[in-house]
A and B are shown apart, each in its own frame.
Chain A
Amino acid sequence: MSLRLAALVLLLGLGCATPEWAKPTIPEWEKSPPPPFDAPVVQPGRLHRETLPNGVRVLVLEDRRLPAFSLGVLITRGAGVEAPAEAGIAAYTAELMESGAGQRSALELAGVVDALGASLAVSATWDSIGAQVAGLAEDRDLLFDVLADVVLRPRFDVHEAERVRAESLAALRQAADDPSTLLGWNFASTLYAGHRYGLPESGTPATVAKLDAAAARAFHHRVVTPGAAIVFASGDVDPAALLERIRRTYGAWQGPPLPDVGPPPPVPQQRHIVVVDRPDLGQAQIGIGHGGIPRSDPRRLEVQLLNGALGAGGFSSRLMARIRAEEGLTYSVSSQFVQRHRAGPFAVFTFTRVPKVGEVVTGILEELERIRREPPSAAELARVQSQRSGQFALALETSAEVAGALVDLDLYGLPPDSLDTYRGRVRAVTVEQTSAVARDLIDPARASIVVVGPAELLRPQLEPFGDVEVVQP
Chain B
Amino acid sequence: MRSERAALLGLAASVVAAGALAAPYEDPAARTRVTPFDNGLTILTLEDHTTPVVSFQIWARVGSGDEARFTGLAHLFEHMMFRGSTNLAKERHQQLIEERGGQLNAYTSRDETVYYTDITPEHLPLVVALEAERLANLDVSQASLDDERQVVIEERRFRTEDNPEGRLFEALMALTFQAHPYRVPTIGWKSDLEKVSVAECRAFFDEYYAANNLVVSVAGDFDTEALLALLQRHFGALRKAEQIERNPTEEPAQNGERRAVVHFEVAGPIVAMAWHAPATGHADADALDVASEILSNGRTSRLYRALVYDKPIALGAAGGYWELARAGLFFAFAQVRPDVSADEAEALLAHEIERLRNEPVTEAELAKAKRALEVGLIVGQGSSNALASRIAGEWLAFGRIRPLEERLAAVRAVSAADVQRVAQHWLEPSGRSVVQLLPPPAAPEQHP
Chain A interfacial positions (CB closer than 8 Å to B)? 27-29, 31, 33-37, 39, 65-68, 102-104, 106-108, 110-118, 134-136, 138-139, 142, 145, 153, 163, 166-167, 170-171, 173-174, 176-179, 278, 280-283, 313-316, 321, 324-325, 327-332, 351-353, 383-384, 386-394, 396-398, 400
Contacts and interface: CB of A to CB of B under 8 A. Distances in A.
Given A115-B18, A387-B100, A179 B94 contact: no
Contacts of B98: 313-316, 387
Interface of B: 1-4, 6-7, 10-11, 13-15, 17-18, 21-23, 25, 50-53, 82, 87-88, 90-92, 94-96, 98-103, 118-123, 125-126, 128-130, 133, 146-148, 150-155, 157-158, 161-164, 265-268, 297-301, 308-309, 312, 315, 335, 337-339, 364, 367-368, 371-376, 378-379, 381-384
Contact of A283 (B6, B94, B161): B161
Contacts of A28: 125-126, 128-130
Given A282-B162, A329-B154, A398-B383, A315 B123 contact: no
Contacts of A398: 51, 382-383
B154 A283 contact: yes
Contacts of A391: 101, 103
Closest 8 CB pairs of A and B: A390-B101, A117-B375, A110-B299, A28-B129, A117-B371, A114-B298, A328-B150, A315-B94
A397 B383 contact: yes
Contact of B88 (A29, A68, A178): A29
A28 B132 CA distance: 11
A353 B1 contact: no
Contacts of B90: 325
B40 to A, nearest CB: 25
Nearest to A136: B375
21 contacts: A27-B87, A29-B96, A29-B130, A37-B121, A65-B50, A103-B1, A103-B4, A110-B299, A111-B300, A114-B300, A117-B371, A163-B309, A163-B312, A170-B337, A282-B161, A331-B152, A351-B157, A384-B99, A390-B101, A393-B53, A398-B51
Contacts of A29: 88, 92, 96, 126, 129-130
A104 B7 contact: yes
A320 B439 CA distance: 35
A145 B2 contact: yes
A107 B23 contact: no
Nearest to A402: B51
B155 A170 contact: no
Contacts of A321: 91
Contacts of B308: 167
A394 B53 contact: yes
Given A353-B154, A394-B119, A112 B162 contact: no
Contacts of A352: 154
Given A29-B130, A65-B382, A283-B154, 16 more contacts: A27-B133, A33-B126, A36-B122, A68-B378, A102-B7, A108-B7, A114-B301, A115-B11, A116-B17, A174-B335, A283-B158, A329-B150, A352-B154, A386-B101, A394-B118, A398-B382
A295 to B, nearest CB: 22
B120 A390 contact: yes
- Which of B13, B15, B154, B378: most chain A CB closer than 10 A? B154
B14 A37 contact: no
B265 A278 contact: yes
B338 A170 contact: yes
A134 B367 CA distance: 18
A96 to B, nearest CB: 14
A33 B123 contact: yes
Nearest to B161: A282
A110 B154 CA distance: 41
A324 B90 CA distance: 12
B384 to A, nearest CB: 7
Contact of A117 (B18, B82, B96, B265): B18
A174 B313 CA distance: 13
Given A110-B300, A329-B150, A394-B119, A116 B158 contact: no
- Which of B25, B157, B162: most chain A CB closer than 10 A? B162
Contacts of A106: 299, 309
Contacts of A393: 51-53, 101, 120
Contacts of A142: 10, 13-14
Given A328-B151, A353-B154, A177 B267 contact: yes
- Which of A171, A315, A353: most chain B CB closer than 10 A? A315
Contacts of A389: 101
- Which of B1, B98, B338, B372: most chain A CB closer than 10 A? B98
B315 A315 contact: no
A116 B300 CA distance: 12
B374 A117 contact: yes
A37 B120 contact: yes
A114 B299 contact: yes
Contacts of B378: 66-68, 136
